[in-house]
Amino acid sequence: MENTQKSGVREFFLDIAADFAACTIYAVGTQVFNAPNNIAPGGITGISILINYLFGLPISLLTLVINIPLLILAFCFLGKTFTFKTMKTVLVMTLMLTVVGQYVPVYEGDKILAALFGGVLSGAGLSLAFMRSTTTGGTDIIARLIQKKYPGIAVGRLLLILDAVVLASAAIVYRNFESALFALVGIYARTQILDSILCGLDMGKVLLVVSNKHDEMAREINSHLGRGCTVLDAKGAYTMQSRPMLMCVVRKSQYYDLKKMVSTLDPDAFIIAVEANEIIGKGFKHFAGT
């Protein structure tokens, strides 16, 4: 019982530390790079930046006010645990947006750099929050509410529409179509950073090969690339004949050599190559903490 309490206290303080780190990084992206350069990168933050431009209200206060009704809905429909954890992060975000906005100098140089750095920092901050199983509120609450009410609906498409509305509004508010384009650059950078951190930088390729020379290929791949293969049973739907299929996972830097090796051994081989966002296991990387 005592160990459980100590573990709970430790996790709480780790959550607080992660909140401050994540929210500080995110706040720098927002207050230093996005807002001063009229870049509204979608979502609640983008809406707050636009209202700040029109009426001069603090971005930190706006994000808090917009999140309050969403937190109430989350409490009613998503449960206390999720709501309190998100509320904690939202409050820390409000604090760090205020501190960064008052004490950190803004960047007003090249807008492409501003969009890129704003997106990268926002993505890094969000990734750190997500890794501690919390959120910064806003569209994440909206997404969860929609999924709970309408499980079959394409939430990603709805959130994309919301971002598109914010981008269109930015072009109108700033009277500059380029503002929307810069925001689009920032959203792309944020998405790439989120995918890289959450899915892992150790990406690769999965190659599926149907060939009569699968044994020879497996030996060559093992001896020249140092990679193992898995032989799968496959059956052609047209010929109804069973044929073995090789599955091999390699780093992206090895993909060209693997493809060349397969085509050399069997020019008639049937190849399917797909992306592997994260590869865990022998020869790649271990599970975190192991």
pLDDT in tens, 243-269: 889 999 887 767 888 888 888 899 999
Sign of the C-alpha dihedral computed for residues 164, 63, 125 and 176 taken in this order:
positive
Fold (topology level) of 204-276: Alpha-Beta Plaits (3.30.70)
CA 227 to chain CA mean position, Å: 29
Residue 285 has pLDDT above 70, yes or no: no
CA distances 203 to 101, 129, 207, 251, 286, Å, are 36, 22, 13, 7, 13
Distance separating the N- and C-terminal Cα atoms of the chain: 25
Q: Are 111 and 181 in contact, with CB atoms under 8 Å apart?
A: no
CATH 3.30.70.120, the chain: domain bounds: 204-276
User: Each residue of 99-152: pLDDT tens digit?
Assistant: 999 999 999 989 999 999 999 999 999 989 988 878 888 888 888 888 777 776
- DSSP calls for 202-252: --EEEEEEE-TTHHHHHHHIIIII----EEEEEE-TTT--EEEEEEEEEEH
Structure tokens at 219: 């030996």
* Residue 119, pLDDT score: 95
Report the predicted TM-score, pTM, of the whole model to 2 decimal places. 0.77
